[in-house]
Structure 1
Amino acid sequence: MEEIDVVVAGTVFNDLVFSGVQIPKMGTEVFAQGFALAPGGAANRAVAAARLGARSALVTRFGSDALSTLTRHQLEQEPNLDLASSILIPNWQGPTSAALADGFDRAFVTYWDQQSNPEWKRDQPVKVLHIGLSQDLPQWAQDLRKRGTLLVGGVGWDPSQEWSSALLDRLKGVDIVILNETEALNYTSCQDLETALDCLTQVVDQAVITLGSQGLVASCAGERFRLPALAVQAVDPTGAGDVFTAGYMAATAWGWSFENRLQLASAAAACSVTHLGGASAAPGQQAIGQLLLEQARRGRIALPDWEFLAQWSGIDSL
């Protein structure tokens, strides 16, 4: 059987995204400059990987309500995205989030009647699997890893803000972890990024800590790497971390070098924040090429430093 490049298992949210707006005080009303309805959550990663050209699949549950029906329909239109392992739950309201973004950060209001997600039951081989670590790894994911699948552990924000150290134990069951700065420092109980990276690489082969506009720090097989962020005019950061993860997973599935994986992930995330929504803002190959050209023309990057990604994006010269 032909291998699936990227499988994403997790919860899909119906994202209602309001941009150019501050969080209102109780009893007041504010007006947003922009609005989008888009699939969110696990869909961000699955769609972003598919748009980059990775053969992708999504393992999730869909509600039967009007918003979930529209979300599912949007996902069915995505080329390279397989929904055959996702299921519909009758009489269930799918998770829904309202995201308020001011161009620099965002806040969420979410409704979520939690349900466990279905399993990947197909014999089709998988190169890279993304799965959440809020609970112990399911047996089916462990079985895929034994057959050669690389596991990316999903972490995310801890709403309790307890930042349980149990996460580090769960990381021993995966190969790759990608966290933002807040998550990395809190989950490892470290005071600085270098120490946090040391802590993470004791339990995983590859660790990436994203720093927003400051770029990233990462480690793979003992090799440390820093990459500054591409300077863009941000409209909505919703889902940018998911798009970053999708770019890294796709490049990993294709066997790219560590540096090139980070470059693709960074460029994809930079593209995504210039538009509204998570999955709806995920870029394709052409958009990344245009971003690199723009960055080079403005003197923000030296295009030869991005030669591999430039060629992949179809850029021949300035």
Structure 2
Amino acid sequence: MIAVLGSANMDLVATVDRAPGRGETVTGHTFTTVPGGKGANQALAAARAGGDVAFLGAVGDDDFGRRITTLLADAGIDVSGLAVGDRPTGTAHITVDATGDNSIVVVPGANGTVTELTDAHRAVLDRAQLVMMQLELPLPLVTAAARYARSRGVRVVLTPAPAVPLPAELLAAVDVLVPNEHEAALLAGFADPVEAARSLAAGGGDVVVTLGGRGALRVGGGTETRVPAFEVEAVDTTAAGDTFAGVLAVGLAEGLDWDDALRRASAAAALSVRRAGASSSMPDRAEIDAFLTEG
């Protein structure tokens, strides 16, 4: 079982020809509300790829929270650990331009109420093979959960986004770190993704740096692996990183070797960018299989 401890937001998405500069107003084309949050997105990506997933987090007692809970449950995700907090559901305000690039402002809301590792969290982690986390919940909680999971022999996968300096005790408890190249550069202090990955992997874990249209790089276990991206026409890149991470987690939980796990994750990310939205763009297992067969 894959446990996901993370954020759940409602994405408020506006599409524009180009993103506005500071102090500028531009006219948008469309506006949609789509359930998201890095935690919920990764949980959905993993579940749609065939993973047995439990989600731990919080939403508000509002329409956004109910929509998110229903979406997760309908995907077969165990939502018994999704608390209803006294703050509104978190929101992410996303602008997507004509090239598919995006900028995002996150308002944590109920996510900010998940501050301590509870007995309910521990009970789920005790049953898990792997736990996925991000940094949209308070950092002390993420650190405590990673350390607890490591003490129970549960594999810890961390997407360090939004990027902030990570305490040594958290990095020491992470088995697989999955930053994009900008996050890797911030964490390691090297602009070159290969140097950054090597530096971050020096502690003994595996590091997978996502490189957008250039694919992904994995460093760990004394080896380096590059996986090229699949060539597709991008509509919206919002969910690519979370889709990649969620599907990678499924591959690792199923015991795939690194090459196969990375290839499946890359294929899923490619499929996700061909559709708009976050949760609405994530492929299911059959789509991933068909895409790999055709490719």
Which of 19, 24, 36 pairs up with 1:23? 19
Find 2:106's aligned residue among 101, 107, 110. 110
RMSD after superposition:
2.2
Q: 1:63 to 1:227 in 2, by over 3 A?
A: same
- Whether the 8 Å CA contact 2:100–2:234 is kept in 1: the answer is yes
Change (3 A) 1:19 1:204: farther
Which aligned pairs between 1:195-274 and structure 2 lie closer than 5 A?
A: 195-274=195-274
* Counterpart for residue 126 of structure 1: 128
AA partner of residue 139 (structure 2): Q
Query: How big is the shift at 1:29?
Result: 4.4
Letter in 2 for 1:30: T
The question of 1:8 aligning with 2:13 is answered no
TM-score computed with the length of structure 1 as normaliser? 0.82
Say yes or no: does 1:154 pair with 2:149.
no
Name the larger-Rg structure.
Answer: 1
Question: 1:308: which partner in 2?
Answer: none
Aligned to 1:283: 283
Once the two structures are superposed, residues 51-96 of structure 1 have per-residue CA deviations (whole angstroms, 9 ceiling, x without a partner) of: 11110010000111222222222222112x1101111124x21111
Identity within the alignment, %? 27
Q: 1:247 to 1:61 in 2, by over 3 A?
A: same
Provide the C-alpha distance between the structure 1 equivalents of 2:208 and 2:146, rounded to a whole number of angstroms: 21
Distance in 2, Cα, partners of 1:73 & 1:261: 29
Segment of structure 1 superposing worse, 132-141 or 12-21: 132-141
Between 140-149 and 28-37, report the one with greater CA deviation.
28-37
Which residue of structure 1 lines up, in the alignment, with residue 91 of structure 2?
A: 96
Aligned equivalents of 1:220, 1:86: Cα separation in 2: 33
Mapped partners of 1:99, 1:196: distance in 2: 28
How far apart are 1:217 and its partner, in Å? 1.2
Question: Where does 1:39-118 land on structure 2 (aligned, <5 Å)?
Answer: 39-79=36-76, 81-90=77-86, 92-102=87-97, 103-113=99-109, 114-116=112-114
Match of 2:29, SS state, is: coil
Contact 1:21/1:33 (CA < 8 Å) preserved in 2? no
Q: Are residues 202 and 126 of structure 1, via their aligned partners in 2, closer, same or farther at CA, if it must alter by over 3 Å? A: same
> Which consecutive unaligned segments of at least 5 residues does structure 2 have?
none
**Secondary structure of the residue that 2:200 maps to in structure 1?**
helix
> Contact 2:243–2:265 (CA<8 Å) still a contact in 1?
yes
State whether residues 243 and 272 of structure 2, in contact with CA within 8 Å, keep that contact through their aligned partners in structure 1: yes
| Aligned-partner SS, 1:226 | strand
Alpha-carbon shift at residue 170 of structure 1 (Å) = 2.3
| TM-score, reference length from structure 2 | 0.88
What's the secondary structure of 1:60's corresponding residue? Answer: strand
| Amino acid aligned to 2:27 | V
Letter in 2 for 1:121: R
In the alignment, the residues of structure 1 paired with residue 272 and residue 50 of structure 2 have an alpha-carbon distance, to the nearest angstrom, of 16
Query: What is the rounded CA distance, in whole Å, between the counterparts of 2:31 and 2:291 in structure 1?
Result: 22
Rounded Cα–Cα distance in structure 2 between residues aligned with 1:154 and 1:93 = 24
Q: How far apart, CA to CA, are the structure 1 residues paired with 2:245 and 2:183?
A: 15
- Equivalent pairs counted in the alignment come to 284
Q: Is the 8 A contact 2:39 2:133 kept in 1?
A: no
Q: Does 2:146 correspond to 1:145?
A: no
Distance in 1 of aligned mates of 2:248 and 2:190: 25
Unpaired runs of 5+ in structure 1? 297-318
Q: 1:49 Cα shift?
A: 0.3
Cα separation, 1, equivalents of 2:105 and 2:159: 21
Give the letter for the 1:157 counterpart: P
CA contact (8 A) 2:267 2:288 kept: yes
| Residues 36 and 93 of structure 1: CA distance in aligned 2, closer, same or farther (over 3 Å) | closer
2:71 alignment partner, SS class: helix
Q: Cα offset for 1:168?
A: 5.0
Distance 1:233 1:168, change over 3 A: farther
Higher helix proportion: 2
Q: Who is 1:314 aligned against?
A: none
